[in-house]
Amino acid sequence: DTGVSQDPRHKITKRGQNVTFRCDPISEHNRLYWYRQTLGQGPEFLTYFQNEAQLEKSRLLSDRFSAERPKGSFSTLEIQRTEQGDSAMYLCASSLDPAWSYNEQFFGPGTRLTVL
């Protein structure tokens, strides 16, 4: 399967714990996005990587959230000191785009986080 993969698919944690999610994009894709989606809403942009550089981060994202994409391959999203409001589906997407253009984003199946 050469699509976008995410791990784990489900995560249940207690409030205050740290969690880390992994995304493996389609191998030649230079762009990687993280989104958060709650019930009845569309995906909400969290952050964006062009290769290994994190070029944009949502102002809605608190300091408890951090993302990395070492070597421009897989990416990790860490949430520290989780809160119940962090419960959501976390989606990763990748695309292959020339500069300043937008092509199709391919989404992974998501990681569903439940904070108790």
Which of the ranges 9-17, 20-28, 72-80, 102-110 carries the binding residues for another protein, by CB under 8 A?
102-110
The answer to the question of residue 111 lying near another protein (CB under 8 A) is no
**Residues 21, 53, 37, 4: is their CA dihedral positive or negative?**
negative
Shortest spacing between CB 40 and another protein, in angstroms: 7
Binding track over 68-97 against another protein, x by CB under 8 A: -----------------------x------
The residue range among 17-25, 54-62, 64-72, 74-82 that interacts with another protein, by the rule CB under 8 A, is: 54-62
**What is the token pair recorded at 75?**
């990416």
Task: Give the number of other Cβ atoms within 10 Å of residue 103's Cβ.
Answer: 11
Token representation of residue 52: 């290994």
